[in-house]
Amino acid sequence: MSNAEIVDLLELTARLMELHERDAFKTRAFQSAAFNLDKTTADLSQLPVDELVKLPGVGKSVAQKIHEISQTGRLSDLDALLAETPAGVLDMFRIKGLGVKKVRTLWRELGIDTLDALRQAGEEGRIATIKGFGASTQEKILDALTFLQEQQGKLRMDRADELAQRLREQLLPHFERVDVSGQVRRRVQEVDTVQLLVQTTDPLSAMLTLRGMPELLIDERESSPFVWRGRFAGYDVPVELRFNAPDQMDRQLFIQSAAESHLKQPGSAGVALLQAAYTGNDASETAIYERAGLPYVVPEMREDDFAFRWSTQHHHTNLVTWDDLRGTLHNHSTWSDGKESVASMAAYTRELGLSYFGIADHSKTATYAHGLSVEQVMAQHTEIDQLNAGFGDDFRIFKGIESDILGDGSLDYDDEILARFDYVVASVHQTLNMSIEKATTRLLRAIENPYTTILGHPTGRLLLAREGYPIDHRAIIDACAEHNVVIEINASPYRLDIDWRWIDYAMQQGVMLSINPDAHSLAGLLDMHYGVDIARKGGLTAEMTFNALPLEKMQAYLQQRRSNLVK
């Protein structure tokens, strides 16, 4: 099992122990272990008990529990707790703002043990009458329930991509050609159907083959002789496998990978894209666009007519690619809540062929993430200077910080400290329940701060988990243009924030965007692939991508900003 899976089981055990009011000392032991092990780079599944107890926060009892998980994939203590806990009570932990104590109160005092019962209690006003809740909490619970309901049966881009590739690998031994299509190929950030095309001249035999694969769970009512529909074991999202003859694969790959509104677009030839796809012998995607009299559009942008409007000013070859990236600027290390040292993160960045690494650990207000005190900032800068002394002219570590935007829009270091950084990523992490007026005003003040270089994850959203706070995107982008502030495309598949629909407006206003991984581990650096996907979807060109600047230009840019501040 992976470290993340083990930590998740420890966290759930601790949460349920607290819910059922088990021994407080043992509960804290699980909480402490989960908190500390979330940062470890050791392979927990491979360590014996006598090595596990040497890790921070791990006592002998918890070490034995970790060993049990590693050996069996389960934890008997957790199984016993789960048996006592209604499934609906577990679901309540997904509600934003509901901690263990509130869940226990709702369960014990109101007898609520399903999300439906929770919604009914909220709609009847019963939650507001409970001590410690009130009308405001009740309203937030109802809003969170609505959000969760809208997200059911969806996967984030990364998990959908993982499932699609897993399906393709399992199908390829049985079929000559299998293509990932639909929303996954279009790089939709929240996927509600994972679709693949399967080449076959015998759909009946193909269907029998799929029925023989135990992890494929067919939905008999939704399937047909030419389309298998169902689910893959362990995933809640619908799966669709479409059978096509060899001479139809290219044609259908195009059709199935474009949104309906995109296919309806008429071209100068007087026919819509869909009609052009079904006519002519050449079924290649470029030929289809040519027959319609329309410019070629990359799969990521095949949503609606935006791509054609974009094409009046740009060419698809101008879109940013992974190869255009020259560095990475929003990353965390063990100085705050990351899992690797600055040296390790920088070394891996070099292995990826990039020429600069920007560290942006959390600032002092972010105590939950071990934010850096002023003294720690000074110590980290000394370490970076020492590391930079060992590099040649082809690589550099930049000194950054992810400074918390406080409630009034100020940053959480004074100007003397902010001036010591090469750049500052300004982000909101706390007090996220804001009106659009409050959130916009808060961000505007941060943007006006002369030390803000990059505005981090502008809406604070977590895809499929937390709706972002509302902001006036135009006002924010216009302010970034006025104050020469870069906007982040947070490449973490959990965020993908700023939303791709605002990228083109930012470019029109002359605002550069930075594809930042927000990496907390070596693997996290690779999340920039998702950032590139979503950037291309929004039409971002390499020219307007901040971290596509080569090292010498990035150095000159940051030095010029600092010089201007001194003046």
DSSP 447-498: HHSTT--EE-STT--BTTTBPPPP--HHHHHHHHHHHT-EEEEE--TTT-BS
Identify whether residues 191 and 58 lie together within a single domain: no
CB of 558 closer than 8 Å to CB of 422? yes
Bridge-based pairing of strands 327-328 and 513-516 is unpaired
d(CA 39, CA 97): 25
Strand 216-218 vs strand 194-199: parallel, antiparallel, or unpaired?
unpaired
Domain of 179 in residue numbering reads as: 153-246
Distance of CA 63 to CAs 32, 41, 240, 280, Å?
12, 16, 43, 66
Looking at the structure, tell me whether residues 232 and 331 fall in a common domain. no
Specify whether 169 is located in the same domain as 192: yes
- Claim to verify: residue 446 and residue 500 sit in the same structural domain: yes
Distance CA 309, CA 249 (A): 29
Residues 468 and 350 in one domain: yes
At 139 the pLDDT is 87
Whether residues 367 and 271 share a domain: the answer is no
Helix (H, G, I), strand (E, B) or coil at 352: coil
Query: Domain for residue 300, yes or no?
Result: yes
User: What does the pLDDT read at residue 368?
Assistant: 82
Confirm whether 236 is domain-assigned: yes
Domain CATH number, residue 212: 3.30.460.10
Q: Is residue 92 part of a domain?
A: no
Alpha-carbon span 408 to 250, nearest angstrom:
55
How far is residue 529's CA from residue 527's CA, in Å, rounded to a whole number?
5
Based on the domain organization, do 423 and 540 belong to the same domain?
yes
**Could you give the CA distance from residue 527 to residue 523 in angstroms, rounded to a whole number?**
7
Kindly report the CATH number assigned to the domain that includes residue 73.
Answer: 1.10.150.110
Q: Give dist(CA 176, CA 557) in Å, integer.
A: 51
The domain boundary residue, chosen from 85, 103, 134: 85
Q: Is residue 135 part of a domain?
A: no
**Best CA proximity match to 111, nearest among 20, 138, 103, 407:** 103
Give the orientation angle of helix 100-110 with respect to helix 115-123, to 10 degrees.
80
In terms of domains, do 267 and 182 share one? Answer: no
Closest CA to 432 of 467, 482, 393: 467
Distance from C-alpha of 536 to C-alpha of 319, rounded to nearest angstrom: 6
What angle (nearest 5°) sits at the alpha carbon of residue 144, between those of residues 143 and 150? 95
Q: From 64, 85, 106, give the residue that closes a domain.
A: 85
Domain identity same for 468 and 544: yes
> Amino acid identity, residue 176?
E
List the CATH number of the domain containing 407: 3.20.20.140
d(CA 454, CA 370): 21
Do residues 358 and 445 both lie within one domain?
yes
pLDDT, block means (10 residues), the chain with 567 residues: 89 95 94 88 90 92 94 92 92 86 92 91 89 88 84 91 97 98 97 98 97 95 96 94 97 97 93 94 95 97 96 97 98 94 97 98 92 97 97 96 97 96 96 94 98 98 91 98 98 96 98 97 96 98 98 97 82
Let me know whether 189 and 338 are in one domain: no
> 264-296 burial, b if ≥16 CB within 10 A, otherwise e?
ebebeeebbbbbbbeeeeebebebbbbbbebbe
Q: Total structural domains in the chain? A: 4
Cβ count near 213 (within 10 Å): 15
360 lies in a domain? yes
Cβ atoms of 499 and 465 within 8 Å: the answer is no
What is the reported pLDDT for 567?
64
Asked if 119 and 145 count as a contact pair (C-beta separation under 8 A), the reply is yes
Rounded distance between C-alpha atoms, residue 464 and residue 191, angstroms: 10
Q: 560: which residues sit within 8 A by CB, 6+ positions away?
A: none
Q: Would you say residue 404 lies in a domain?
A: yes
Asked whether residue 109 is domain-assigned, the answer is no
Claim to verify: residue 417 and residue 452 sit in the same structural domain: yes
Q: In angstroms, rounded to a whole number, what is the distance separating the alpha carbons of residues 542 and 80?
A: 54
* Crossing angle for the helix pair 60-72 and 3-19, to the nearest 10 degrees: 120
Q: Please give the full DSSP string across 115-179, using - where no structure is assigned.
A: HHHHHHHHHTT-GGGSTTTHHHHHHHHHHHHHHHHHHTT-EEHHHHHHHHHHHHHHHTTTSS-EE
Q: Domain ends where: 318, 342, 368?
A: 318
pLDDT tens-digit series, residues 56-100: 999 999 999 999 999 998 899 999 999 999 989 998 998 877 899
Q: 110 CB contacts (<8 Å, ≥6 apart)?
A: 121, 126, 127, 130
